[in-house]
Amino acid sequence: MNADASNSALKRRDSFAHVAEASWGKGLSTLLRITRMTLRHPWQVAITFISTFLAATLQLFIPRLLGQAIDQAQGVIGQGADSGAEHALWITALILFVVSMLRGFFTMLQNYFGEAVGHQTGYELRLAFYEKIQRLSFSFHDRVHTGDLITLGLLDLDGVRMFFSTGLVRVVLLGVLVGVGAFLLVRTDILLGLLSLSFVPFVAWRSSVTQLALRSTWLMLQDRLSVLSRVMDENLGGIRVVRAFAAQAHELKKFDRAKEAALELAKRRVDIRVGNTSAMNLSFFAAMALVLWFGGEKVIAGEISVGTLAQFLTFMTILQMPVRQLGLMVNSFARASTCGTRLLALLDLDLDIKDAPGAKDLVIIEGVLRFENVGFRYAGASSTAALSDISFEAKAGETIGIVGPPGSGKSTIAHLVPRFYDVSSGRITIDGQDIARVTLQSLRKAVGVVQQDAFLFTTSIENNIAYGNPWAREQRIERAAESAQLHNYIIGLPAGYTTVVGERGASLSGGQRQRLAIARSLMLRPSVLIFDDSTAAIDAGTEQRIRTAMRRFAKDRVTLIISHRLSSLMHSDQILFVENGRIVERGTHAELLAAGGRYRALYDLQLRPEDERRARNEGA
């Protein structure tokens, strides 16, 4: 198996390792909590358990009625068709038919309402899970792999959902069948009763061991299939690179190694299942042979009737499948305990970013953004702070440019304004209101962030632009597209604004995706607009036109422009040069050039050769 892929899978499993380790200690409390969830639907639960009890009780009548019918049939054969035995046989057959029908009806109710309770519980958990994912902070998503969350929301949640029908209901079913059935058989004949039940302990043991072994190997197989899927996904995502470097053979070998690892484990699972099924069948037929042997001798000796012997054999046949399901029941408890602990651990997470007690909506009056000695450190990061002592002020209509080397903390500043993260020290205010004390909803309506990596949904261009305001009028959508210099391109498409972009906007170029993201933010008309290197893929001419269109839009709001290209921010009212998380230079473009510091060095590297070349051309 590919080493990098294996390590990645291991890291994903370890991201919730603390939950898995705690699952044995928390297992019982987790199962009790899941049980309480199912009890939120009391009448459905009651119908399920009553139907299960009645279905199992009626099933226990079937062996006795069959034995009675056999004895009555012998009476008919021995006494002739005119005897009363034939009438009794018809009565027994009718009773057997009615009991079977009732048993089938109650089994149907058991299955229907058992599944209904499970699906209703799953529905509620999915809503709670998805709502939690929407509210968890960026810091959570920074450290947890997306694959873990998908596994939690699909496989683990399904393990919890199925606990009621495959675990709790089976406890009632097996309790009635084995407990009451064993009592009835032993009371009829203690030797045959014990022989009839002799296969139960072995089958129950082997079934439980098998299911737990299959459960363990299934978790391992999930990891290996996850690696296999990742190899395929990476190959498809980078298919152009693979073809460009003629690396098809290498990719096939990598996929083959992952496939062989998964196939090997799948074969081991088949061996476990087949071997244990054969052993359980052998024990069942051995017990049946003993019952036939000793029961036949008792029939010959006149101690019991043929119908009584048939009653024991029928009961064994009925009991065989439920006893085998004991392993499934054990697996259901184990799976619900493990999956439930992981899932509930996520649902119980305290939110890092949430509304403070008594938080009020942000009220925009003048629209002044102020950083006051702001410091920030990422969770789990080294001792080096991402930001230290950041202070600046921006009034409505002003544009602040932020520039600096990679990793200097520029994007971190952008993420702190809408509270994607909370500051470690200092504070950020808008019109004097600490953003940590206002509601998140009102803050994020007032702050728009356009990031470099523009994510687009697989829907129409119109829906992507109007994502923040789905009920916006078409004219407003078109004006936003015009400001982002995208309108002319869109109307040239056959379907115009209803054109569906591909996955993540694959049908658009990088510059078009960024312009669409800009239009999406303009739709909200935020009081603070942040461009986080959001024009990196846009050519200089288009960027100039966007900047011209934005002047009218930005006249009554604060604009922050973060960029590596000085041409994107040299027109700003104030430029901050950030290095190692600190502001080392600040001023206008002219002031910073005159200072001859880091900004001037970057200008000489990026723009001065172009300016000199343009001056020579104009002089010629």
| Model confidence at 257: pLDDT above 80 | yes
Question: Which has the higher per-residue pLDDT, 326 or 595?
Answer: 595
Note whether 492 and 535 are same-domain residues: yes
Please tell me whether residues 143 and 29 are part of one structural domain.
yes
Regarding whether 147 and 48 lie in a shared domain, the answer is yes
- The owner of tokens 């024991």 is 312
* Cα–Cα distance for residue pair 492/468, rounded to 1 Å: 25
State pLDDT tens for residues 423-482: 999 999 999 999 999 999 899 888 988 877 777 888 888 888 888 788 888 888 888 888
Distance of CA 562 to the CA centre of its chain: 33
Is 362 part of a structural domain of the chain? no
- Tell me the per-residue pLDDT of 294-307, one tens digit each, with 9 for 90 and over: 888 888 888 888 88
User: Two tokens at 261?
Assistant: 């690892």
The domain tally of the chain equals 2
CA 391 vs CA 23, 174, 584: distances in Å: 46, 70, 11
Residues 303, 437 share a domain:
no
Q: What is the mean pLDDT of residues 126-155?
A: 79
Asked whether the beta carbons of 259 and 1 are under 8 A apart, the reply is no
Q: pTM of the entire structure? A: 0.72
Among candidate residues 537, 542, 478, the one with its CA nearest the CA of residue 509: 537
- In tens, the pLDDT along 519-532 reads 888 887 888 988 88
Q: Do 380 and 287 share a structural domain?
A: no
- Residue/partner pairs of 259-262 with CB below 8 Å, 24 or more apart: 259/228, 261/1, 261/224, 261/227, 262/221, 262/224, 262/225, 262/227, 262/228
Tell me the pLDDT of the chain averaged across its residues.
81
Structure tokens of 479? 């004006």
Mean pLDDT in residue range 586-596: 91
Q: Once rounded to an integer, what is the mean pLDDT over residues 282-299?
A: 87
343 and 374 in one domain?
no
Residue range of the domain that includes 451: 369-619
pLDDT in tens, 353-399: 888 888 899 998 888 999 999 999 887 655 678 899 999 999 988 89
Confidence tier at 17 by pLDDT (50, 70, 90): very low
Query: What band does 619 get if pLDDT is binned at 50, 70 and 90?
Result: very low
- 342 and 393 housed in the same domain: no
Q: Is residue 22's pLDDT more than 70?
A: no
Same domain, 383 and 418: yes
Same domain, 48 and 80: yes
- Domain check: are 333 and 376 in the same one? no
Residue 397: CATH number of its domain? 3.40.50.300
Q: Specify whether 489 is located in the same domain as 611.
A: yes
In a domain, 208, yes or no: yes
Question: What's the CA gap between 9 and 6, in Å, rounded?
Answer: 5
In a domain, 452, yes or no: yes
User: Does residue 310 sit in the same domain as residue 228?
Assistant: yes
Instruction: Please give the helix or strand (H or E) that residue 574 lies within, else none.
Output: strand 574-579
Q: Is residue 359 part of a domain?
A: no
